[in-house]
Structure 1
Amino acid sequence: MPDDRFTFEGHAGHALAARLDMPRGAHLATALFAHCFTCGKDIAAARRIAQRLAGMGIAVLRFDFTGLGHSEGEFANTSFSSNVDDLVAAAAALEARGMAPSLLVGHSLGGAAVLRAARRIGSAKAVATIGAPCDPEHVTHNFGANLDEIREAGEATVDLGGRPFTISRGFLEDLEGASLVEDIRELRRALLVMHAPRDAVVGIENATRIFVNAKHPKSFVTLDDADHLVTRQRDADYAAEVIAAWAGRYLALERSAPPDGAPEGVVRVTEADPKGFLQDIQSGPHHHALADEPERLGGTDKGMSPYGFVAAGLGACTSMTIRIYARRKGWPLAHVEVEVTHDKLHGEDADEAGAGEAKKVDVFRRTIRLEGDLDDAQRARLLEIADRCPVHRTLEQSSRVETALA
């Protein structure tokens, strides 16, 4: 996916590092993503979810909060409230680009932050949280034995995920006073709560409290056995697909493609998983699908194989051609079903592919089921018409593929 890296001014005037993942096809909506506590915009979950959403037409801005990642400022001088202010600043930066966010997505403490920030972001119509605590104070359990030192000395260095962070008394007090119940009750946006029942960092009871306090429209989706950081790619892909499908109901999606989007008549295929074979397919400005390979061939089996798409094209075209003819004739055809299988067989008359090796030819076997009060002559005629399907004719004739570098 193409991305745009830039900086914008955070709550205290520091330059915050941002990455905007843009769809290659139609730009349907814009989302703002808030990462987990002490993480960054490039953590695996944030990167994978942003890229998958972009593959489905939703641009995603992810950024490093003040003092984290590539952003300026001192983490020791930040707080939960300052994270919320950074989110509001990020939304303003998007609006200045003509891309005001309609969807807010937050992971862990970032989920708590978007719940609070939502009412200050006028363009936001929907909010999705992933493993979010109901009260930001929940993260103080990470400070363990340092809590007393923070309160008494004013600050302490805490080891979080193998990295040292200075936590101030002000940070602690801000967390302890940041109840989200009122924010959730007055959210006035569609809410999606996603949580794993076995989350060992933020318990499932947090999701229950968020959901119970929220008003409709609200939805809850379990992430099954995902871990808190959503480190497995399949869990991140699932979260992104659910968010995109759910958000479509609540966002006024712009269905016109941008200048660099996929125009009508163009099929654009973009690699979604460089380590596997998953592909995002954008057909014109409106249609999206996934292509993949079976697990036995190294894929993740999340979409049809390339030959599956070819067989689907033949089957769909066959059914449509039969329907058009029967409709024109006024015949009582009630239903059409076409089954297509594909195989490669050695062709006796084909040119040799190499020394002593006969070239294989593609064989598509098509079984057509016709339902309705049709006589034998009508059924025979419809079977003949199936061979006039344009895709059928394309497959039987020689084709030419012309390739150029973009």
Structure 2
Amino acid sequence: MPTERITFPGHAGTLDARLDMPDGLHLATAVFAHCFTCGKDIPAARRISARLTTMGIAVLRFDFTGLGHSDGEFANTSFTSNVEDLVQAVAYLEARGLPPTLMIGHSLGGAAVLKATARLDQIKAVATLGAPFDPKHVTHNFSDALPEIIAQGEAEVNLGGRPFRIGKGFVEDVTDEALQPAIARLNAALLVLHAPRDTIVSIDNASEIFLAAKHPKSFVTLDDADHLVTKAEHAEYAADIISTWAKKYLQLKPPAPPIGAPEGIVRSSEADPKGFLQDITHGTRHHILADEPRAYGGTNQGLSPYGLLSAGLAACTSMTIRMYARRKEWPLDHVHVDVSHNKVHAQDAGTGSGDKIDEWKRRISLTGRLDDAQRQRLLEIADKCPVHRTLERTSKVLTELAPVGEVLEIT
């Protein structure tokens, strides 16, 4: 995921941003709005952005005015100014020839993208995570300081262990804001993601957002995730839901695979440089996870590399048997294949060598009114499976180092 550090004009100064680009074909662009007093680099934003780039979707994530490395004083910002920053982000991307069609917002950023999208007809889909239906909800984070803010014009509050100055204008702005009209005017598909156990913004907010919107709309719960979606598995789940849902409404249409490579390219990209989790993509339509078990330092969120090899053998075997039985019009009702992998000494396999070789054990179950001869023939056909034949014969793997900065298109 190549990341470009950029700046662009906000409503009151320069905003600091990251533009995450796909490794291959660029098919669409999204804007990510972070939560109240957060920033563009929170784990949830990075994970969701990384997942979308594997689908060919570029993602712009930026710090709102007065936060992170962006210009301005946070005390002078408001909900309205956040919305203006989002509109400016869309304008910047359009000027670069990267017009966005997807908006994603987390917490108060979710409320802001709803408000902004109502003004942006070019947006085709909008997703919110833990968003409040009433922006005034955010003031409960500093309710003790509200009298001082109203009386003095601003006050310093502690949010998440960090000091922020909240201005009277911000409080008045969120108090006067009503999202219902904006949600009702959305000319985009809506995905509402919310955790039932969210203690910061209750799930009732998600229900109100969902009910206020017209179709098409979807509502998915994030189970036991916290408000900031801090755990990697929860962020991955949210990312997967958003990416799968968005494909339909963004109408991603990659070009056909090149002649001579009908299956295109399979790419494995690190999802977590501190562990082993991998995003594996095949074009823009297929995505799986690979990982190592926890005992080996992984997070066990996907098949191990050898598990993927075993899966390929099992799937190919089942497909090969089904194709043969279908052609013969045999009464095969169902087939499933169990595969296990191990390392054994070559001399045990009759090769005469003391080295270890790979051994796959395959157990095939066939259901249907098949006679013994048909079952035996289907067992023989299993050995015709292309993956089986590949594993049994010697293969060659050619490896090269890609030049720095080279972008290889995935089709």
Q: TM-score, normalised by structure 2?
A: 0.88
**Residue 400, structure 1, aligned to residue 399, structure 2:** no
The match for 1:10 is 10
RMSD: 2.5
The match for 1:322 is 321
Give the deviation of 1:330 after TM superposition: 5.1
**1:318, 1:338 within 8 Å by CA — same for their partners in 2?**
yes
Q: Secondary structure of the residue that 2:91 maps to in structure 1?
A: helix
Q: Secondary structure of the residue that 1:394 maps to in structure 2?
A: helix
Structure-1 separation of matches of 2:11 and 2:162? 24
Q: 2:382 aligns with which of 380, 386, 397?
A: 386
Cα 1:93–1:37 change in 2 (3 A) is same
Structure-2 separation of matches of 1:361 and 1:97? 54
Give the deviation of 1:277 after TM superposition: 1.6
Q: Secondary structure of the residue that 2:118 maps to in structure 1?
A: helix
Structure-2 separation of matches of 1:350 and 1:265? 36
Give the deviation of 1:28 after TM superposition: 4.4
The match for 2:190 is 191
Structure 2 unmatched ranges of 5 or more: 403-411
**2:47, 2:271 within 8 Å by CA — same for their partners in 1?**
no
Structure-2 separation of matches of 1:40 and 1:86? 14
Q: How many percent of aligned residue pairs carry the same amino acid?
A: 66
The match for 1:365 is 361
Structure-2 separation of matches of 1:288 and 1:328? 31
The C-alpha deviation readout for 1:76-131, integer Å capped at 9, x for no partner, is 22211111011011112222233322221111110110110011222212221111
Structure-1 separation of matches of 2:231 and 2:273? 15
Q: Which region of structure 1 is more displaced relative to structure 2, 334-343 or 250-259?
A: 250-259
The match for 2:95 is 96
Cα 1:285–1:49 change in 2 (3 A) is closer
**Residue 127, structure 1, aligned to residue 123, structure 2:** no
Q: Secondary structure of the residue that 1:138 maps to in structure 2?
A: helix
Q: TM-score, normalised by structure 1?
A: 0.89
Structure-1 separation of matches of 2:205 and 2:323? 55
Amino acid at match of 1:268: R
Structure-2 separation of matches of 1:179 and 1:66? 22
**Residue 220, structure 1, aligned to residue 216, structure 2:** no
Structure-2 separation of matches of 1:195 and 1:235? 11
Aligned length: 398
Cα 1:137–1:341 change in 2 (3 A) is same
Structure-2 separation of matches of 1:229 and 1:360? 48
Structure-2 separation of matches of 1:68 and 1:258? 43
Give the deviation of 1:322 after TM superposition: 3.1
Amino acid at match of 1:212: L
Cα 1:116–1:332 change in 2 (3 A) is same
Cα 1:23–1:155 change in 2 (3 A) is same
Structure-2 separation of matches of 1:351 and 1:71? 68
The C-alpha deviation readout for 1:258-313, integer Å capped at 9, x for no partner, is 99xx9953221111111222111122454222111233333222222211211122
Amino acid at match of 1:401: V
Structure-2 separation of matches of 1:403 and 1:205? 53
Structure 1 unmatched ranges of 5 or more: 353-357
Structure-2 separation of matches of 1:386 and 1:309? 19
**1:27, 1:254 within 8 Å by CA — same for their partners in 2?**
no
Equivalent positions of 1:132-143 (< 5 A) are: 132-143=131-142
